[in-house]
Amino acid sequence: MLDYHLHLWPHTRRDTPLVIDQVAAYCERAQAAGVVEIALTEHLFRFVQADRLLAGFWDDDDVPVRLRQSMAEYWRFHASADLDRYVETVLEAKRQGLPVVLGLEVDYYRGRMDQVAGLLADYPFDVLLGSVHWVGGWRFDDLDDAVSMAEWTSRDVDDCWDAYTDAFAELAATRTCDVFAHPDLVKVAARRPEHPQEWWERLADAAAESGMASEVSSAGWRKPAAEQYPAEGLLVRLAVRGVPFTTASDAHHLSHVADRAGDLCALLRSAGIDRLTGYRGRQPHTLPLADLALLDPRSGDGAR
């Protein structure tokens, strides 16, 4: 198995020391759970280089003042680390022989993805995850922000899924990234359409047309959504369209690294998926699942 979505810092922490020992601990825990390689994929918005380029994006749309203020506060809190130091730390971990690849989680910024691609082009990334965490200035997945969560009570659920799916398709069309992170993240607060199949079809079509892979993530099991990303109905549609897959925990601290790796393996096998995709220098390579499934998936074991 792989864990191709890992963060070094929880969202509640602004102080961001970068140490090889933390990377080594992640690798050790992952390997104990049968994961043979990890990708460190810190959020782009946590770096001052992104702040200089993208701050204020929430003013590009007609966004209510309450959401603009919430987004501005969130951004100011997080944009404090240095991208160059992050990259050098991961490269040093690679030089020391740790089974890690250099990645980044990149959000969708409408009308600004050319700028994002330009910023990232000079760095030796192995894999870039593409994410939709907000629509306009609304952080629909920020479960700890009362302003953001209040929007779910005043918005139509179908409209929310439409807006998310449109943003997902727009991100796909830019081809800026390699892998879709948590492709149906919009369900995070357990707000779903009565019949989600329409949105699953649209998401699967956008992914297939982009040539990107999709992650299969255990993170949704830790959220109100109470299921993996993507839902089984979407997972099957992605597989039918030939979309490749990675696996991920989306851990923000050590205890969630390789979370439920065995359950993910069992899920993939039940969907008829027999290979994963890894990355080097943003070029994909195929890894047979049989060679990666070092756990007995029937046990459901994994780092919990």
Question: Could you check whether the bond before residue 230 is cis, i.e. omega within 30 degrees of 0?
Answer: yes
Q: Would you say 80 and 46 are in contact if contact means Cβ atoms under 8 Å apart?
A: yes
User: Shortest CA distance to 200 belongs to which of 227, 228, 233?
Assistant: 233
Helix axes 197-210, 157-174, angle to 10 degrees: 10
DSSP reduced 3-state for 1: coil
**Domain layout of the chain by residue ranges:** 2-299
* The two structure tokens encoding residue 130: 């593409």
DSSP reduced 3-state for 103: strand
Q: Would you say 36 and 294 are in contact if contact means Cβ atoms under 8 Å apart?
A: yes
Which position has the token pair 């990377």? 23
**For residue 176, how many C-alpha atoms fall within 13 Å in the half-sphere facing its CB?**
26
Top-level class of domain 2-299: alpha beta
| pLDDT in single tens digits along all 304 residues of the chain | 999 999 999 998 887 788 999 999 999 999 999 999 999 999 999 999 999 999 999 998 888 999 999 999 999 999 999 999 999 999 999 999 999 999 999 999 999 999 999 999 999 999 999 999 999 899 999 999 999 999 999 999 999 999 999 999 999 999 999 999 999 999 999 999 999 999 999 999 999 999 999 999 999 999 999 999 999 999 999 999 999 999 999 999 999 999 999 999 999 999 999 999 999 999 999 999 876 654 433 233 333 2
Query: Looking at the chain, how many residues does it have?
Result: 304
* CA dist., res. 215 & res. 179, Å (int): 7
